[in-house]
Amino acid sequence: MTKLTQIILRSALGSMLLAGGAALLCNPAFAQSAEKGREAFARNGCWQCHGYQGQGGAAGLKLAPDPKPLVYFEAFIRNSNGPMPPYSEKILPKQDLADIHAYLSSIAKTPDYKTIPLLNQ
Amino acid sequence: MSPKDESPKANRRQFLGGVIAAGAATASAITPRISNAADAPAAGEHNHAEHERAPAALPPNGQTIAAETMAPPPLPRLGGRAGSDFMVDVIKTLGIKYLPANCASSFRAIHESLINYGGNTMPEYVSCMHEESAAGMAHGYFKATGKPLITLCHGTVGLMHATMGVYNAFCDHVPMIIMGGNDADAATRPPGVPTIHSAQDINAIVREFTKWDDTPTSLQHFAQSFVRGYKIAMTPPYGPVAISLDAGLQQEPIKPHHAGEALYIPKYVPTSPPQGDSGAVKEAARILVDANNPVIVADRAARTPAAIGLLVELAELLQARVVDLGNRMNFPNTHYLTSPPGVTNAADAILGLEMTDFWATINAYTDNGQHGIGENNRKARPDVRLISIGAATVPTRANYQQFQRFQYVDVDMAADAEATLPALIEAVKSALNSARKDAIVKRGEAARKAYAEYMARTRQEAALAWDASPISTARLCMETYAQIKHMDWSLVASEGNVSNWPQRLWAMEKHHHSLGRSGGYGVGYGAPASVGGALGNRDLGRFSVSIQSDGDLMFAPGVLWTAAKHKIPLLSVMHNNRAYHQEVMHVQRLANFRDRPSNNGGDSGPIGTSIMNPDIEYHELAKSMGWWAKGPIKDPAQLAPALKEAIEVVKSGHPALLNVWTQPR
């Protein structure tokens, strides 16, 4: 993450929290669906850089398992000024964003690599 | 063709018109003095004994065989032995094993000489279906063997096809000799298509990305240009050269050279590579020894396998961490000094070896749409001292911008890194003093710890989405590695971006373990370069594997047929993410910057970037061209058994392809 991104994020996070931006977390209008989130993750192109399971790789960071909290998630996606292009609410509605977070939260924990023989060659 | 003598020209034209002409040239004019070794050493190898080898060591040429078997003299229609026979004599002195090419009328004469007079050996003709495939094969072959190949092109349209491959070779510092047929004489060349396919200067189209080119106008000129071209191509920095072959010169009978002397073939003596000036080497050593955190960045440093040992020695002397940028296998990734690129950010001295883009090691460009273009930020320390050793750091061409942004460095040597390393090692040894030794040992201990952590982190990252379908790129690569690691394997190409898993997790210790990338990022490199690399490896007894991406294969898939036709064993494991994926991300990025949803037109990526609906059945495509193939494989559990089957096929001497559906990166 670039320095600039961090600064913007910090201020974005601050203002979101102050203005009750965390409402996304508890507002029943944004009940989250992992199933819909999987579809939204594909439709909105998140898979392109993060992989279909949010595993990350050469083009994007790992998002799952254990995604960062929704409040961070939203601030980052809306305001990214680094290598990730930002998604405004116009192209990624709040509902999609919440569902995507639910989808990423539903992804099972990764096994310890030591239990996978091919990763111990 | 030679403007000085009209009669052979008349013979050629009459020949073309089917009229028998009276021949005039005599056999006495055609005895070439051959002085080059059959197996020419690479530049830098001092192999004088080879050069002094008597011509008798060469396989008998067509002329000798004819004399020994009392074959009848040439048909009078030609008027003597063909000029292209002499060209073949010249080519044979340089020990060039193969000639991948797509056939064409403008070089029919030398084609005929190669296969009938030259016996189709040294070089052996390899049938290609696209000139870009031929150039790509020569590219991959050189990186596997260290020996250059020739390719023949139809002068205009064929060379146009070849250009992308030639550009890759130029950017990747790979030598090859491109010979383009052309019929220069507007008054006598056949009308119609051959004239449309002629040009005043066929080499113009590749001049900006070849090291040198020529248009010989006599056979003696050809002999000089061919040996000179070979020498230029093989002098570091290596690169492609182009020679135009006039159709007339090829077809006309051999005649005495204009001064009446017999034709001769100049001797090839390798040029020793440029080495760093002793003052600059000393200064570099001082900076490295004084640094608290020196880092070595190697791009195309290992021109030959010998450089790997030298780099290990230098790195260990300094306990300096090494970043291998992967364009060659420069440094064993099993060595604890191997490091990810980010280590340069904290370095107080960076030694860049054969760097294409030193700027990008010091700075970062972020494609964030800032002011419509993106943002530049320095990532290295402001006080970092920079040393560069690279034979190609001073550009010799202006148009194409492969030389990247200008980066100021403190010590800059326009010298071959591999040739300079021995002197640098000696200079570092003499600059080292006991006061620095403790710090250096401590640095080594820290590097060991960092390496262990880095490897554990990398393996844990590889475990992510391990059971996913489509198959994760980490799983694809590690399943493949498990099946080949017991052999003398060679990753001949890995195009399409699999998040660098082979470079991160396959134990790469030998130069041929990875042949690197394309150089020019010209799309369509992987398929032909892997076939060319596999051809070289076949003769050296190595097992070739390629990670083949979908878009790359479809630029010129005919090279699959070439591999089957010439029995080139190659395991091609597809990274089929069903898209031109780099462009998928580019268009998405722009849509976001412009705040509008991307129109995917029913595909999964923006319109124009997906390769789906319908999906290409690559396994069927490969089968239709004589490969063993299987797919589409979407379940990771099916990979290992399919790989086992494919490897048995490859071991039997044939190519095999697995069409695997994968995650995007």
The DSSP string of B230-295 is HHHHTSSSP-EEEEEEEHHHHHSBP---TTSPPPB-PPP-PPPPP---HHHHHHHHHHHHH-SSEE
Q: Which CATH class is domain A24-109?
A: mainly alpha
| Residue A26 clears pLDDT 50, i.e. is over it | no
Give residue B80's pLDDT.
85
Give residue B562's pLDDT.
99
Instruction: Return the number of CB contacts < 8 Å for A and B.
Output: 120
Query: Which residue of A lies nearest to B485 if distances are taken between CA atoms?
Result: A121
Give B552 to chain A, closest Cα distance, Å.
Answer: 18
User: Which of A81, A86, A118 has its CB closest to that of B478?
Assistant: A118
A56 touches chain B (CB under 8 A): yes
| Secondary structure element (H or E) that encloses residue B418, with its range | helix B417-431
In three-state secondary structure terms, B344 is helix
Instruction: Concatenate the DSSP letters of all residues of chain A into one string.
Output: --HHHHHHHHHHHHHHHHTTTTHHHH-GGG---HHHHHHHHHHTTHHHHH-TTS--BTTB----SSPPPHHHHHHHHHH--SSSPP--TTTS-HHHHHHHHHHHHHSPPPPPGGG-GGGG-
Taking CB atoms and an 8 Å limit, are A81 and B482 in contact across chains? Answer: no
Taking CB atoms and an 8 Å limit, are B470 and A52 in contact across chains? Answer: yes
Taking CB atoms and an 8 Å limit, are A110 and B464 in contact across chains? Answer: yes
User: Which of A55, A85, A121 has its CB closest to that of B482?
Assistant: A121
* Residue of B373, B379, B464 to mutate for A, most A C-beta atoms under 10 A: B464
* Residue of A113, A114, A115, A120 to mutate for B, most B C-beta atoms under 10 A: A113
A91 neighbourhood in chain B, CB within 8 Å? 591-592, 595-597
Give B48 to chain A, closest Cα distance, Å.
Answer: 45
Give residue A29's pLDDT.
56
Q: Which residues of B474-501 are buried (b: 16+ CB within 10 A; e: fewer)?
A: bbbbbbbbebbeeeebbbbbbbbbbbbb
Taking CB atoms and an 8 Å limit, are A119 and B589 in contact across chains? Answer: no
Taking CB atoms and an 8 Å limit, are A81 and B370 in contact across chains? Answer: yes
**What CA–CA distance (Å, rounded) separates B215 from B531?**
30
- Residue B165, both tokens: 């491959």
Interface of A with B in 1-40 (CB under 8 A): 2-4
Query: Which residue of B lies nearest to A86 if distances are taken between CA atoms?
Result: B592
B598 neighbourhood in chain A, CB within 8 Å? 45
Question: What average pLDDT score do residues A7-27 get?
Answer: 44
Q: What is the ipTM for the molecules in this complex?
A: 0.87
Taking CB atoms and an 8 Å limit, are B459 and A90 in contact across chains? Answer: no
Domains and CATH numbers, chain B: 12-69 (no CATH), 83-260 (3.40.50.970), 278-460 (3.40.50.1220), 465-578+615-660 (3.40.50.970)
The position carrying tokens 């003596």 is: B269
In three-state secondary structure terms, B416 is coil
Give A36 to chain B, closest Cα distance, Å.
Answer: 16
Taking CB atoms and an 8 Å limit, are A48 and B585 in contact across chains? Answer: yes
In three-state secondary structure terms, B574 is strand
- Residue B542, both tokens: 């190595």
* Residue of B466, B477, B480 to mutate for A, most A C-beta atoms under 10 A: B466
Give residue B435's pLDDT.
85
User: Which of A3, A58, A116 has its CB closest to that of B497?
Assistant: A58
Taking CB atoms and an 8 Å limit, are A52 and B584 in contact across chains? Answer: no
Taking CB atoms and an 8 Å limit, are A51 and B485 in contact across chains? Answer: no
**What CA–CA distance (Å, rounded) separates B403 from B393?**
8
**Which residue type is seen at B125?**
Y
Rg (CA), chain A: 15
A110 neighbourhood in chain B, CB within 8 Å? 460, 463-466
Give residue B49's pLDDT.
37
What band does A72 get if pLDDT is binned at 50, 70 and 90? very high
Give residue B495's pLDDT.
86
**Cα dist from B607 to B554, B600, B603, whole Å:** 18, 5, 7
Query: Which residue of B lies nearest to A60 if distances are taken between CA atoms?
Result: B665
- Residue B594, both tokens: 């412009």
Q: What is the mean pLDDT of each run of 10 residues along chain B (665 residues)?
A: 37 33 34 47 40 44 55 64 96 98 97 98 98 98 98 96 98 98 94 95 98 96 98 98 96 81 94 98 98 98 98 98 98 98 98 98 95 93 98 91 96 98 98 91 98 98 98 98 98 94 98 97 94 98 98 98 98 98 97 96 97 98 98 98 98 98 98
Query: Which residue of A lies nearest to B334 if distances are taken between CA atoms?
Result: A121
Burial of B71: CB neighbours in 10 Å, binned 0-12, 13-18, 19+: exposed
